Amino acid sequence: MNPKYIEIDNTYYSGLILINYFREQTDLILKTIIDTNINLNISIFYEKQDTYKTIRDLTYHIGNVGVDLTEKNQNRQDIDIAAFTYNDAKYIRKEMQVNSEELYYLYIYITTFSNDVKDLEYLLNKIEGVLQGKGIQTRRAYFREEQAFLTTLPIMENSLDLKEAAKRNVLTSGLVATYPFISSAIFDEEGIFIGTNIYNNSLVFIDRYNSNKYKNANICIFGTSGAGKSFYTKLLILRNRLLGIEQYIIDPDREYGPLCEAFEGTSLKIGPSSNTYINVFDIREESIEEDGQGYLANKIGKLIGFFNLIFGNLNEEEKAILEESVIELYKQKQITFDDKSLYKEDENKISIRPIFKDTYDMPILQDFYELLGKNEKTKKFQIKLIPFVKGSLKFFNNYTNVELSNKLIVADVYELGEDNLKYGMWLCTDLFWDRIKKDRKVKKAIYLDEIWRLIGVTSNKEVASFIYKIFKTIRKYGGSSVAITQDVSDLFSLEEGTYGKSILNNSEIKTFFSLEEENIKVLEKYTNLSEKEKIEIKSLKRGECLMFIGNEHILTKIEAADFEKNIISGGIKNEENSNSNR
C-alpha cells in the first residue's frame, strides 16, 4: 500500500482536491487544464442548498458578526476575516433575495494516471502548476486515493472523506466559471475522422456537407512542400470515396494516380502521349446554370477566358472580335442563341423527344483556326493557334472521347509541362464543373491542386472569375471545392489578391500546414491570424496543421490507419520525385 497513489492493472492513479479559488473569477477556471494533453479525469459536483434555510442562517450570521464588529471586538486579531465574512454574507443574501440567485456547494476532483510512478509525479506537478496559475489551490488526496479515484468515475459518488476539504459555496451565476465543455473540438455526428486535437487529444470529425452548421463545404489547404498537405488531401479523397461521394481531381503533378487505381477510378490523361481528348468547344446539357443566360451565351463567356490564356490579356475590341468569330463558328454547326438549336432528332428512334447534341455536332479548334484565317483582323489569333492545331499541343484539337460515369475521376495534366498546365487545368475544370451541376441531390467535390495557376499572376480575370464562381455557387449543387497550393503568395498575386481573398473567404474550412515566414505574412493580410497562431504555423511538424472550421481554430494532428497509409504511399513517392525536380 502506498498513500500517494493506487495501482490498478499496472496503471498508477493519484487524486487532487481543489480546495480554494479566486474570490472573483472572470474566466472559465477549468479551460487551461482541459486544453492540455495530460491524462486526467475530472468530476464536478453541485449541491443546491435550501433557499429559505440559507437566507435565515445568513441573517443570523450577519446579525452576530455585525454586533461583534461594531461594539466590543475591534482589537481581535481576526477582525479582518470577520469583516470579510460579514460582507460576503450580506452580498450572498442580497443576490438571493433581489436577483433570485441560488446557493450551491461546489466540489471538484481531478485524477491523473500513468504507467510509470515518476511520470505520475511529473503529471501531478504539472497539473498543480497550471491550476495555481489560475489562482486555484489544490491538495493531494494522500491516504484517500481510493476515494478520489471512485469520485472521478461516472458513478456519482462524492465521498464523505473528501467533501469537507473540497466544499466551497458558489452562486448560480458563478457556476458558469466551472463549465467544463470548453475545449476546442469538432465532432460532427456524420463527419469523417480528420485527426486529433494537438492540445487535448480530442477527436476531430468534420461533416463539411452539413449545411445547418457550415455556410459551405469548401476547403482551402495551404502548406509548404513536404508539410503534409498532399497526404491530407489524399486522405480526404480516400475516406470520401468510401462514403460514395463523387470526386473530381485536377492533378498537375501526377500524385493521385495510385489512389485512383486503388479505388478503380477513371484516369483522364491530357498530354502528347495520351489517347483521351476533351473538346474545348463542347456545350453540355448540364452546363446551363440556375437563372443562366442560355447555352451559347454561357459558353462564349467561358471561351473568352480560355482564349485569354492563349492569346494574352485581350482588350475589349479584341474580345468583341473573338466573340463575333465564336458566334459565327457555332452558326456553321447550326447552333445559335436559341437553346432549341442544341437539340436534334434521335436518329436511332429510341427517344421520341429531341436529344441534346453531342461532341461530334460541335466545332473543334481546327474549325476555329480556319475561320480566323479568313479575316485580316483575326489572323494574328490564328497564328497563336498553330501549336494547338498542327504542333505540339494538337491533342487539344479533337472531339471528346471519354466516358465519365465513374465517381472518382483524376485529370492527369502532368505531361503538359509548366507553361501549358493552365490550358489543361482550365479544360478539365470546365468539364468537371458541368458534371457537378448535373444533379444537386448528389454530394460531390472538385479538388484544384496548385490552384494558383488558375487564379495567380499567370492567369487572367475571366479564368479567375470562373474559379471564384465555382467556389461561390457550388454549395447550391451539393458540392465542395477544395483549393490546394504551396505557393500562397502567387495565389494572391492577381488583381492585388482579389480572387485569392474571395476564394479564401468562401471556404468555411481553412487548413494551414507549416508555412514559410513570407507566406504567413501574406495570409495575415487576409485572415484573422493571431500572433500565437502565426508562430504555431511556422513551427508545425509534418502532418500537423491549424484548422479554421467556422469560428473554431484548432491545432490538429492528421491521423491515418496503416492500410490508408499503404494506399496513399505511392502518391507520396511521386510527390517527393516531383518536388526534387522543381
Angle at 507 between CA 503 and CA 508, to 5 degrees: 160
Which residues of 237-358 form beta strands (DSSP E)? 246-251, 266-269, 343-344, 355-356
The candidate with the shortest Cα–Cα distance to 423, out of 433, 413, 436, is: 413
The candidate with the shortest Cα–Cα distance to 268, out of 250, 244, 282, is: 250
Question: pLDDT value at position 574?
Answer: 42
User: Mean pLDDT for the chain?
Assistant: 89
Please tell me what DSSP assigns to residue 308.
H
Question: pLDDT value at position 207?
Answer: 95
The yes/no answer on whether domain 284-405 falls in CATH 2.60.40.10 is: no
The three-state DSSP-derived secondary structure of 29-94 is: CCHHHHCCCCCEEEEEEEEECCHHHHHHHHHHHHHHHHHHHHHHCCCCCCHHHHHHHHHHHHHHHH
Of the two residues 211 and 87, the one the predictor is more confident about is 211
> By the 8 A CB rule, do 375 and 230 touch?
no
Instruction: Give the neighbor-by-neighbor strand order of the sheet with 192-197.
Output: 203-206, 192-197, 552-558, 544-549, 509-512, 219-222, 479-485, 444-449, 246-251, 408-412, 266-269
Average pLDDT estimate for 556-581 = 70
Lowest mean pLDDT among 224-233, 450-459, 491-500, 563-572: 563-572
Question: pLDDT value at position 91?
Answer: 84
The Cα–Cα gap between 80 and 86 comes to: 10
The Cα–Cα gap between 40 and 111 comes to: 5
Q: Per-residue pLDDT for 6 more than 60? A: yes
Q: What percent of the chain has pLDDT over 90?
A: 68
Are both 224-265+406-582 and 284-405 of the same fold?
no
Residue 575 binned pLDDT confidence (cut-offs 50, 70, 90): very low
Residue with cell 458541368: 434
Average pLDDT estimate for 507-530 = 92
Tell how far CA 436 is from the center of its chain: 21
Single-letter amino acid, residue 319: K
Q: What percent of the chain has pLDDT over 70?
A: 93
Considering just the CA atoms, what is the radius of gyration of the chain in Å?
33
Lowest mean pLDDT among 326-335, 455-464, 555-564, 570-579: 570-579
Question: pLDDT value at position 578?
Answer: 43
> By the 8 A CB rule, do 294 and 339 touch?
yes
Q: What tens digit of pLDDT does each residue of 403-435 get? A: 888 999 999 999 999 889 999 999 999 999 999
Q: Per-residue pLDDT for 581 more than 60? A: no
Q: What tens digit of pLDDT does each residue of 523-568 get? A: 988 888 888 899 999 999 999 999 999 888 899 999 999 999 999 9
pTM over 0.85: no
Please tell me what DSSP assigns to residue 580.
H
What CATH number is given for 224-265+406-582 in this structure? 3.40.50.300
With both helix axes pointing from N to C terminus, report the angle between 295-311 and 461-473 in degrees, rounded to the nearest 10: 130
Q: What tens digit of pLDDT does each residue of 294-339 get? A: 999 999 999 999 999 999 888 999 999 999 999 999 999 999 999 9
Here the cell at position 468 is 471564384
SS3 (DSSP) at 362: coil
Question: pLDDT value at position 582?
Answer: 35
Q: 130-146: string of b/e by CB count within 10 Å (b at 16+)?
A: ebeebebebbbbeebbe
Average pLDDT estimate for 50-66 = 86
Q: What tens digit of pLDDT does each residue of 126-157 get? A: 999 999 988 899 999 999 999 999 999 999 99
The Cα–Cα gap between 23 and 102 comes to: 17
Residue 576 binned pLDDT confidence (cut-offs 50, 70, 90): very low
Q: Containing H/E element for 204?
A: strand 203-206
Residue with cell 470579510: 84
Q: Per-residue pLDDT for 573 more than 80? A: no
Those residues with Cβ within 8 angstroms of residue 287's Cβ, 6 or more apart along the chain or in another chain: 295, 298, 299, 434, 437
Task: Write the DSSP string, 531-573.
Answer: HHHHHHHHHPPTTEEEEEETTEEEEEEE---HHHHHHHHHHHH
Q: List alpha helices for 157-228, DSSP H.
A: 160-166
The Cα–Cα gap between 501 and 497 comes to: 6
The Cα–Cα gap between 14 and 5 comes to: 5
Angle at 245 between CA 240 and CA 247, to 5 degrees: 85
Question: pLDDT value at position 61?
Answer: 81
Residue 358 binned pLDDT confidence (cut-offs 50, 70, 90): very high
Reading phi first (left if > 0) and then psi (alpha if -120 to 50, else beta), residue 125 is in: alpha
SS3 (DSSP) at 105: strand
Q: What tens digit of pLDDT does each residue of 186-213 get? A: 888 899 999 998 877 788 999 999 999 9
Domain extents in the chain: 6-178, 224-265+406-582, 284-405
Please tell me what DSSP assigns to residue 410.
E
Q: Give how far Cα 427 sits from Cα of 350, 368, 417, Å.
A: 32, 17, 15
